Amino acid sequence: MADVRFLLTGDTSVCVEFGNEISEPINAQIRAFNIALSKSDIPGIVETVPTYRSLMVHYDPEVIRYALLMDKLKGLLGQLDKITIPPSEVLEIPVLYGGEEMGPDLKFVAEHAGKTEEEVIKIHTSTEYLIYMLGFTPGFTYLGGMDESIATPRLKTPRVKIPAGSVGIAGSQTGVYPIDSPGGWQLIGRTPVRMYDASRETPILPQAGQYIKFYAIDQGEFDKIAAQEAAGGYAVKRHPRKEGGK
């Protein structure tokens, strides 16, 4: 933990920075620290925001002043290896791949990669993608770990409206659009799962530090899950991640 830096982000928050690169080990430290902080008795913590390589800690200076908070956070860092951190969770996200409506760009992605559409689907569904952080819009996940062989440049002209649930590729990134939004990602499929639903008790499904594993479904399964979501909720399959993934 020698490289950890505490950066001042004003008078009601600090940024705890664990490194200066995007890497799974650094992100795992952030997750561990965030869990340790939530279990600690440090008072006055308002909310925390995990990002690629740092944890932003918002606090109430009326409850805990800067100097004391620094002491406590540094103390917590020192004890990090003594705290048991549960394994990350893997969310299994069903995707209907391809087709003019759901995945209009799958054909182009396959041609660009010199593969068949089936091969692209096989590669896209074979990885557990780490959710490094959420941002940009409610529920938008920044995922890492996509196979470079299916990396595809963004569309030259972005679409004005991409439906919620669309699964896309942009460069070597992949992800799901949680709400209808404009965008230039290559759309390869769509999930009937609602990544964001304001009416739910937990409005946003994915959390930083979890993994997403996509699996292919057909139209029948898509309609069934979509109907369950519309009726109040489909329980996404989830399981603890095994060491080393896969």
Partner 1 sequence: MSITVLNPGLLTTVQDQGRIGYQQFGVSVSGVMDPRSAALANILAGCGQGEAVLECTMMGPQLQFDKGNVIAITGGDLGPTLDGKAIPNYQAVAVKAGQVLKFTAPKAGCRAFIAFTGGLDIPVTMGSRSTYMKAKIGGYQGRKLEKGDVIGFRAPVDTLPRMEDRVLSPEFVPKPVYTLRVVMGPQDDYFTDSGIDTFLSQTYTVTPEFDRMGCRLDGPAIAHKEGGDIISDGIAFGAIQVPSAGTPIIMLGDRQTTGGYTKIATVITADFRILAQLKAGDKVQFVKVPVEYAQGLLLAQRSALKALSRINA
Q: Using the rule CB under 8 A, which residue among 2, 25, 41, 62 binds partner 1?
A: 62
Q: Which of residues 159-188 bind partner 1 (CB under 8 A)?
A: 179
HSE value, Cβ hemisphere, 13 Å, CA-based, for 66: 10
Q: Which is nearer to partner 1, 56 or 236 (CB)?
A: 56
Q: State yes or no: residue 38 binds partner 1 (CB under 8 A).
A: no
Q: Which stretch binds partner 1 (CB under 8 A): 60-68, 87-95, 114-122, 165-173?
A: 60-68
Q: Are 15 and 56 in contact (CB under 8 A)?
A: yes
Counting Cα atoms < 13 Å in the Cβ hemisphere of 1 gives: 17
> Dihedral, CA atoms, 73, 3, 243, 129, nearest 10 degrees?
90
Task: CB nearer to partner 1: give 106 or 208.
Answer: 208
Among 33, 52, 97, 214, binds partner 1 (CB under 8 A): 52
**Which of 44, 104, 135, 163 is in the footprint of partner 1 by CB under 8 A?**
135
Contact 46, 85 (CB under 8 A): no
Least Cβ distance, residue 206 to partner 1 (angstroms): 8
- Least spacing, CB of residue 230 vs partner 1, in Å: 19
DSSP state of 88: P
Candidates 138, 153, 182, 233: give the one binding partner 1 (CB under 8 A): 138
For residues 100 and 202, which CB has a smaller minimum distance to partner 1 in the complex?
Answer: 202
Smallest CA-to-CA distance from 108 within 173, 170, 180 is with 170
Kindly report the length of the chain.
246
Q: Which is nearer to partner 1, 17 or 105 (CB)?
A: 17
Site for partner 1 in 193-212 (CB under 8 A): 198, 203-204, 207-208
Q: Does 150 bind partner 1 (CB under 8 A)?
A: no
43 versus 138: smaller Cβ distance to partner 1: 138
Residue 66, both tokens: 């800067």
The residues, ordered by sequence, that sit 6+ positions from 1 with a Cβ below 8 Å of its Cβ are: 29, 77, 78, 80
Which contiguous run of DSSP H or E holds residue 74?
Answer: helix 66-78
- Interface pick for partner 1 out of 1, 3, 20, 126 (rule CB under 8 A): 20
Question: Residue for token digits 């394994």?
Answer: 87
Contact characters 67-96, partner 1, x per CB under 8 A = x-----------------------------
3-state secondary structure 153-189: CCCCCCEEEECCCEEEEEECEEEECCCCEEECCEEEE
Interface contacts to partner 1, rule CB under 8 A: 7-13, 15, 17, 20-22, 46-54, 56, 58, 61-62, 65-67, 133-140, 142, 179, 198, 203-204, 207-208
